[in-house]
Amino acid sequence: MITSPHQPDDLTVGTEAAPPPAPRDPKKIKWLRRKRALAGFWLVYRQSKMGMVGLILLVTFIFLALAAPLLVSRTDLGVSDPPGAPFLRPSGEFPLGTDDFGRSVLDLVIYGSRISLIVGFAATVMTMTVGAAVGIIGGYYGGKTDTLMNALTNWFLVIPWIPLAIVLASILGRSLFNTILVIGLTSWAGTARLVRADTLSVKERPYVERARALGASNWHLVSRHILPNVMPVIFANTVLTVALSILAETTLSLLGLGDPSSISWGGVIFDAFDAGALSAGLWWWLIPPGICICLVTLAFTMCGYALDEVLNPKIRER
């Protein structure tokens, strides 16, 4: 059987091999790797038109949100000393007209982007953390733990979220943090489902058994082997969840359950609705925040699709 010990190897053997690279600082190596990986990622992402449009939209809105305090003076948003008369049509001074107090709708919309984005991101972080934790714990440990986690997930999955959110919001009170909490609490179940399913498949792979034979602890197995393999699912889900969270925030605000002291797009629509903007034909008050919500949601969704394409080479067009 073993008759050809001098046969060249199926690979580069010592002879032509470069001298072993002096192992550098592992941290530096990791940083270099990340930089390279990011550059490669960008190269692929750039090719997606949809992704680029989404990204440009998103960057614009994020820039707007960050720069809001510079563009709009906080005093102009007060109801006591508004800059204009109520219900002014769009004009040179107020490009989007004014609301019932005489505040510039443009200012409101610019400022509102802050809350909408903050809530969107914060609620998503919560959704992902809770969803991933519940999904991985259930899927990895199995047995009774899984039954329990599954029951919990199913429970949150079948509960109609708006009534629950209304109840939670009215119990916890109307504040920004509570809005985030309510959205986070009511939307993690879907993520947990996806993550659990993926964990179940990953944990049976031979390399997980190998790592266990290696003497790895449960924590090590989960954090080093399962999580990295489940990450694409979580990641692809994240971007879409941001869009949903922003919509959820709008919904809650529209129902009058948002933070009354902060300005958000949903809140502006709520105020307009409340003041009868619809029947009075005050379109400039109602439509701009609506369009902004659409655009941001669309931007996230477009980025999500583009990311999916980058992360999942199978659906990438050649």
Chain positions contacting other proteins, by CB under 8 A: 1-5, 7, 9-14, 17-21, 23, 25-26, 29, 33, 205-207, 209-217, 220, 224-225, 228-229
> CA 294, CA 298: separation in Å to the nearest integer?
6
Judged by CB, which is closer to other proteins: 86, or 232?
232
The single-letter DSSP state of residue 98 is B
3-state helix, strand, coil in the chain (%, to 5): 70, 0, 25
Least spacing, CB of residue 144 vs other proteins, in Å: 13
The least distance separating other proteins from the CB of residue 10, rounded to whole angstroms, comes to 4
Q: How far is CA 84 from CA 24, 77, 94, 101, 141, in A?
A: 64, 11, 8, 8, 62
Least separation in angstroms between residue 14's CB and other proteins is 7
Q: In angstroms, what is the minimal distance from the CB of 60 to other proteins?
A: 34
Unique residue bearing structure tokens 């199978």 = 314
**Is the CB of 64 or the CB of 226 nearer to other proteins?**
226
Residues 6+ apart with CB under 8 A from 145: 137, 138
Q: Given the complex with other proteins, which of 195 and 299 has the nearer CB atom? A: 195
Going by C-alpha positions, the residue among 121, 110, 134, 256 that lies closest to residue 180 is 121
**Phi/psi of residue 8, each to 5°?**
-60, 145
Rounded Cα–Cα distance for residues 191 and 306 (Å): 20
CA atoms within 13 A on the CB side of 173: 4
Q: CB 202 → other proteins: shortest distance, Å? A: 9
Closest to other proteins by CB, 40 vs 173, is 40
**CB 106 to other proteins: min, Å:** 47
**Tokens, residue 126:** 């919560």
Q: Tell me whether residue 89 or residue 210 sits nearer to other proteins (CB atom).
A: 210
Do residues 139 and 204 lie in contact, with contact meaning Cβ atoms separated by under 8 Å? no
Report in angstroms how near the CB of residue 149 gets to other proteins at its nearest. Answer: 19
For other proteins, which is the closer residue by CB, 25 or 81? 25
Amino acid 6 reads H
Nearer to other proteins, 33 or 46 (CB): 33
Nearest to 205 by CA among 185, 230, 180, 186: 230
